[in-house]
Each structure stands twice: as C-alpha cells, then as structure tokens.
Amino acid sequence: MRRIAILGSTGSIGINTLDVIRRNPSVFKAVALSTNSNTGILQRQIREFRPLFACINDLNSARGVGSVFKSTVKILSGANQLLDMLADRRIDRVVLAISGSAALPPLLKAIESGKDVALANKEALVMAGPLIMRLAAKNKVKILPIDSEQSAIWQCLEGQDRPKLKEIYLTASGGPFLNLEKKQFKNITPRQALAHPRWKMGRKISVDSATLMNKGLELLEAMYLFGVAPEKIKILIHPESIVHSMVEYVDGSVIAQLSVTDMRIPIQYALSYPERLPAPAAFKALDFYRLKTLNFAKPDFKKFPCLKLAYQAACDGGTTPCVLNAANEVSVSEFLKRRLRFTFIPLVIEKVLARHRNIKNPGLKDILAADNWARRQASNIINKYD
C-alpha cells in the first residue's frame, strides 16, 4: 500500500488524483490532504478518504474545522504546519498539485524529507529548476512528472540511450484562440480565456494555455526535468491533444506517447511508478479507427508573444525564468479580475524582464528576492495602465 499526501487536493489535479486513489483502493491510500481555503470540498474528502492529516493554508478558513472532526483526523493550518507534516514517516509519496509559486516551499521540504514527488505544479520548477533538481539528486528523491507533456517525454526517454536524444517535440493544443485573428485578441474576456477546448483545469493554468505561456513554462519545466538545452526543444501545435509529446533520437526514430485527454492517466503513472497499473474501467481508451487524422503545425510567435519571452528566459537562465513566472502570475491574476487586458499580459512581462538584472546560478535567497521584486514591478506597471 503506497501512502500518498495530496497537496492541493481541492483543485483540478487534486480531485483527479483522489479519483485515481478511489479506483485503486488496494494500492493507494490518501493519508494527507490540503487546500488553500476550500474547506467545503476538503471536509467531503476527509469523510470519504479518512486521512491522517488535512491542512488548510488560510488561517481564517481553518477556524472551527478541527472541532468538526475531533480526533479522527489531525487538522493543521497555515504554511508552516504543512511543511512540518511533510516529514511524517507515514507519507511515502507527495503529489504536488498546489498552483503557482506557493508550491516551492513544500516541494523543497518534501525533497529534503526524502519523499518522492509526483509533480503537477510547474511554477516552482520554473522558478528554481536547477536548485530543485540538485536537491532531489542529493536526497535521492525522484521527481515524477504529472503534467501530461512531461509525463510523455519521461515515458519516451525511459530505457533509452539518453545521450542519443536529438530533439524533444513538446506538443501544445494551441488553446482556445488558436484560430482567432490577432486583431480580436484585445477584446478577449476571462470567460473566453477559461474555456479550454480540450482540458478542464484550474483558472490560472487555463489562462496560461490561452496565452500559450503554459507551453513556455513547460519548455522550462522540460529543460530542468530532463537536463535538455532549450534549442533541443521544439514546440509543436497539435490541436487534437492525443500525442502528448515526442522524442527524436539521432538515428531518426521518433518515440511518442499517445492517450486520450484524461489527466488521470499521467497521474496514475506518477503514483504507481515504476509499475504500470491497468486503467480503471472509467478511463476511456484511444480508438484509432475513429481518430483518423492528427494535425501538427508551427506555433505563431507573433500571435502568442509569451512563447518568445519564455524561450528568451530559457536561454538566459539564472533568475530570469523566476522573474518571467512572477510577472506572469501577477498579470494573469489581474486579467482574471478584469483589471488588465489579455493583450497586455505579455507586455507587462516583457517590461519587467527588460528591467531585470539577471543573477546567474542563484541560491534560494536570490530566487525569492527576484520573485518578490518582479511581483512589485509587475504591479507598478499594471497600476500605471489604469
């Protein structure tokens, strides 16, 4: 029985992870759950999964929840108690499904505690990829990707002659505005941006998928996870989202991973690795007779300038990816509050990047300072637009 902690259990990935656990009750046990403030969903999850721990990050939301459950589960609150919990020996593997940069401290703590991490969150890796991968190697911890593209690349690399890798093809659905004319972009509303054609996801990643910054973040994620230079990663628009990514080797062979668009497939693999479990009946299988065609195209960097910014940040390295991520998080949050136009998201990021003085080989302090600095810069720039 593998005992799993799910950080961000009330979000899209968290709920899918619990569904995988529900369908494999003899293999996995959810021993810890966590939310920012969604105590309604959390309480239902506690009743169903009976974990040892449940943590509520927001202190106000945590009030009174402990008394509901008395001694059946230990209710924790705040970021520090979550970190302490991660050292508990009854946790075997940690699913990191908190969104945004808030995932960085628990990711570092899980690694320091020697727990293998099934990683959905991409922002922490973008902020501090080299540091995280070094720490994981030092602690002999495996980072098992959940993000479907990274899971695909990982599966295409397994058992292969790594130095013979020629190129990675990172696929992208293209998001909801793939075929919208550029001149219409200025009127895009949060509601339109949140309506992803293929995947049902949290709000932040849905907007990132609409600007294609999600693919930019995934470029950085792939670089760090697999130790590959950005020139070797090609982004490929693939609207059907069936091929989740591909790896080409020097002999011309291309290995791809395909499946239906269901996050439970990569989640289950990251939970069960190194084993492969049968897909529960509820997971659909690919039907190649009905599929017929798969399309691929070059991305349009002019229409989606976030992609170009991410490539630049990937080439620059140092604190630049962290600054890119922070400026993006602030811009997306303001866009969702209708305080920033869709087309201004890349403009804000570009301006913050232009003001930034890169620090090469940053330590954690440099990264946190750069994150803080970039957030303030982005907010100042956005306030001036008003």
Contact set for Mg ion, span 187-246 (CB under 5 A): none
Residues 6 or more apart from 156 whose CB is under 8 A from it?
245, 246, 247, 255, 256, 257
Does the bond joining 176 to the residue before it have cis omega, within 30 degrees of 0? no
- Assess 371 for contact with Mg ion (CB under 5 A): no
CB 82 to ligand NDP: min, Å? 7
38 binds, among Mg ion, ligand NDP, none (CB under 5 to 8 A by kind): ligand NDP
Cα angle 118, 122, 124 (rounded to 5 degrees) comes to 95
* Residue selected from 116, 123, 147, 248 as contacting Mg ion according to rule CB under 5 A: 147
- Number of H helices and number of E strands within the chain? 17, 11
Rank residues 97 and 108 by Cβ distance to ligand NDP and give the closer one: 97
Matching residue, tokens 């401290």: 105
Q: How far is CA 140 from the centre of its chain?
A: 22
Query: CB of 181: closest distance to ligand NDP in angstroms?
Result: 28
In the list ligand NDP, Mg ion, none, the entry touching 8 (Cβ below 5 to 8 angstroms by class) is ligand NDP
1: its two tokens: 């029985």
Cβ proximity to Mg ion, 31 vs 120, nearer residue? 120
Separation CA 353–CA 119 (nearest Å): 27
Binding of Mg ion at residue 149 (CB under 5 A)? yes
Residue 36 binding: pick among Mg ion, ligand NDP, none (C-beta 5-8 Å cut-off by kind):
ligand NDP
How many chain residues interact with Mg ion (CB under 5 A)?
3
**Phi-psi category of 122—alpha, beta or left, where left has phi over 0 and alpha has psi -120 to 50?**
alpha
Q: How far is the CB of 163 from ligand NDP (least distance, A)?
A: 28
Nearest approach in angstroms of CB 167 to Mg ion is 19
Q: Which one of the spans 148-156, 173-181, 270-278, 294-302 is the region binding Mg ion (CB under 5 A)?
A: 148-156
Strands (E), 106-232: 116-119, 143-145, 165-172
As to burial, measured by CB atoms within 10 angstroms (0-12 exposed, 13-18 middle, 19+ buried), residue 15 is middle
Q: Interface residues with ligand NDP (CB under 6 A)?
A: 8-14, 35-38, 57, 97-99, 102, 120-123, 147, 199, 201-203, 205, 263
Q: Residue 218 Cβ, how far from ligand NDP at the closest point, in Å?
A: 8
57 binds, among ligand NDP, Mg ion, none (CB under 5 to 8 A by kind): ligand NDP
CB of 58 to ligand NDP, least distance (A): 7
Nearer to ligand NDP, 205 or 381 (CB): 205
Six-digit token string for 386: 């008003």
**Main-chain dihedrals φ then ψ at residue 144, nearest 5 degrees:** -105, 110
Q: What's the rounded Cα separation, in Å, for the pair 207 and 306?
A: 12
Q: Provide CB contacts within 8 A for 253, sequence distance 6+.
A: none
Least distance (Å) from ligand NDP to the CB of residue 279? 18
The site for Mg ion (CB under 5 A) is made up of 147-149
